[in-house]
Amino acid sequence: MLIGDLKKKLIEYLENKLGDEARTGGIAIEEPRNRDFGDLSTNAAMVLAPVMKKSPMDIAQIIVDEAISGWEEVEDISIVKPGFINFKLRIGYLIEALKEIVKDRESYGENNSGRGVKIQLEYVSSNPTGDLHIGHGRWGALGDALANIYKANGYEVQKEYYVNDYGTQAEKFAQCAGALYLEHFKRKADYPEDGYPRDIVAVAVQKLIKKYQDSFLFEHPKSGPASEKPGHEIKDRQEKAGDGKGLKDSSIFKQEIIKIMTGHIGETLGRMGVEFDRWFYESSLYEGKNFEKTVKDLKARDLVYDNDGALWFRSSRYGDEKDRVVIRGDGNPTYFASDIMYLESKTERGFDRILYILGADHHGYVDRLIAIGRALGIGEGRLEIIIGQLVNIVKDGQAIKMSRRSGKLYTLRDLVEEVGKDAVRYFFSSVSFDTPMDFDIGLAKQRSNQNPVYYIQYAHARIESIFNKIRGAAPVNMNLLDMSLDRFDFSQLELKSGSGKQMAKILALYPDIVYSSCTNNAPHMITQYLFRLATEFHHFYNKHRILKDTEDGPTVEPGRVGLILLVQRVLRNALDLLDISAPEKM
């Protein structure tokens, strides 16, 4: 890594010189805002001024004389007030850095900083009671991109979706579905007054009917033995007398309708390329005697107490604003009980780091989850909770209503169908988790440079178009007919122009971006990088001819062709991290 390696050298020098006093934090090496100041800059002198009791300008001179001036990677070092040290990168160093692209190809940018560490990312986890709203799509795109980024940094990653199939909301959804199911077969049924919108529930019910037909009715209207009918495989599992409302077995009906709704959710997420390694059902936490064992263990560790007929968890002891009920007075467990058992399950499965991605409406969960972690002895830093902010969908200048419980709403499925997978993933990944965002549908559908994802993809396609023209031109340098990294000639690389060197520097910075986007949980750093690289390429292309027409026929500039070949490779790598396509034609 370019910046990472230089910063390591700087820190090692300072620690050797100052010892523990150098570990003040805040020392950075980064690109200056003004390109005229150089390629990179460090604030080390100003950070160390209070420690060394000298002026930043004097400290900067010491650092330059004793350290930076001896770095083979840099040249043209300068010091500017109030103490910044600016420097440029040597062309020779950049060429060596770019050789890593040729060597690593599709793995360029990856590192092993997370080797041996198992991390679990849980995200989306919407209740299986209806279609996914737009916010779920944002967490899906961000979570999925972040998982790819962690993998690129060497981590062993598991992506998990938590299915809330145990509790009042799941029961309510099953009641609504049961009413629609009975209505379909002309049976009397009362739809719950406070139930979910019928059109949402009907999606799952129609799928259930297609799969099982009338198998959940007490009397099958159709003739023929049950073994010949759809759903006969669940008949053997039906043991109850019924729910008294026309369903043969309400518990199995609930299981099946929740599975179907979960499958519908998975299908929606699949349309935007979001897939999970595991769908974890909340109900599995209560199988066997697991809940009883958990309560017994909590009592043995003095983490719970009885009060007013309920069992309470001592969460305030561990930083929560108040204690939480684990078992209500009626003997039923709460959602908090599930939270405890679910976190225990994650630790028992051997994850070294556990990351939750939750929507803004779950902000109150942060302290309680951290309290559970502390009570269970989960070390600081092992559990991390990201709270994402809201999304506003804008169409024709107007915000679209996205209420899940009332009326017709614009769903995630609607959005993917209207603007496409790539635009959805890019726009949702382009803004930090903690920042609210507006998703402009009109902009996302534009096929112009105003649309950032189009602009980036067009850079990749434009390079491929250049290669196709070169392949079709004659006479040309035969070594360039095979546009691949296998025949790359670094001796002809075009880095003399300002834009050429700038593009090379951006390419060399890619491994730093991959690392930083991981350590900061920031997929938006990848989108910003992509846009910057695409912009620099378009500028380079417009300023420098790559394929020229001469009296003797078309000729090419080999050094420029080689440089854009590297650009195309890195564009594709970065797009892959976001699971966005790299088209060859547009």
**Delimiting residues of CATH 3.40.50.620 domain(s) in the chain:** 118-164+274-387
Tokens matching residue 253: 């009906």
Distance from C-alpha of 558 to C-alpha of 244, rounded to nearest angstrom: 80
What does CATH list as the number for 452-577? 1.10.730.10
Name the stretches of the chain with pLDDT < 70: 22-24, 219-245, 401-408, 473-488, 552-554
Q: Of the candidates 515, 447, 497, which has an alpha carbon nearest to the alpha carbon of residue 153?
A: 515
Kindly report, residue by residue over 545-555, the tens digit of the pLDDT.
887 777 766 67
pLDDT at 360: 87
Coil, helix or strand for 302?
coil
- Of 51, 119, 109, 46, the residue nearest 82 (C-alpha): 46
- Pairing of β 353-358 and β 383-387: parallel
* Segment 392-416, tens digit of pLDDT: 999 888 888 655 444 467 899 999 9
Sheet holding 398-399, edge to edge: 398-399, 391-395, 437-440
pLDDT digits (tens, 9 = 90+) for 257-297: 999 999 999 999 999 999 999 999 999 999 999 999 999 99
pTM, two decimal places: 0.91
Q: What is the pLDDT of residue 242?
A: 43
CB atoms within 10 A of CB 480: 20
pLDDT at 493: 78
Cα torsion 494, 497, 499, 503: sign: positive
Ranges for all domains in the chain classified under CATH 1.10.730.10: 452-577
Gap between the Cα atoms of 482 and 466, Å rounded: 13
Please classify residue 478 by burial: count the beta carbons closer than 10 Å to its beta carbon, then call 0-12 exposed, 13-18 middle and 19+ buried: exposed
Q: For position 552, what pLDDT does the model report?
A: 67
Return the exposure string of 38-59: e unless at least 16 CB atoms fall within 10 Å of the residue's CB, then b.
bbbbbbbbbbbbeebeeebbeb
Residues of the chain with CATH 3.30.1360.70: 2-89
**Interacting residues of 332 by C-beta distance below 8 A, sequence separation 6+:** none
Class of 118-164+274-387 per CATH? Answer: alpha beta
446-to-272, 437, 551 alpha-carbon distances in Å = 19, 19, 40
Nearest to 200 by CA among 414, 359, 358, 398: 414
360 φψ region: left (φ > 0), alpha (ψ -120 to 50), beta (else): alpha
37 by DSSP, 3-state: which? helix
Q: Please provide the DSSP assignment of 376-418 as one string.
A: TTPPTTTEEEEE---EEEEETTEEPP--SSSS----HHHHHHH
DSSP letters for 60-77: HHHHHHHTGGG-TTEEEE
Can you name the residues that pair with 355 across neighbouring β-strands? 121, 384
Query: According to the model, what pLDDT value does residue 537 have?
Result: 96
Pick the CATH number of 2-89 from 1.10.443.10, 1.10.10.10, 3.30.1360.70, 3.30.450.20: 3.30.1360.70
Could you tell me the CA-to-CA distances from 203 to 180, 197, 425, 480 in Å, in that order? 10, 11, 25, 55
Give per-residue pLDDT as tens, 420-460.
999 999 999 999 999 999 999 999 999 999 999 999 999 99
What gap in Å lies between CA 31 and CA 513, rounded to an integer?
13
Q: Could you say which DSSP state residue 298 is in? A: H
pLDDT for residue 402: 59
C-beta separation of 143 from 124 below 8 A: yes
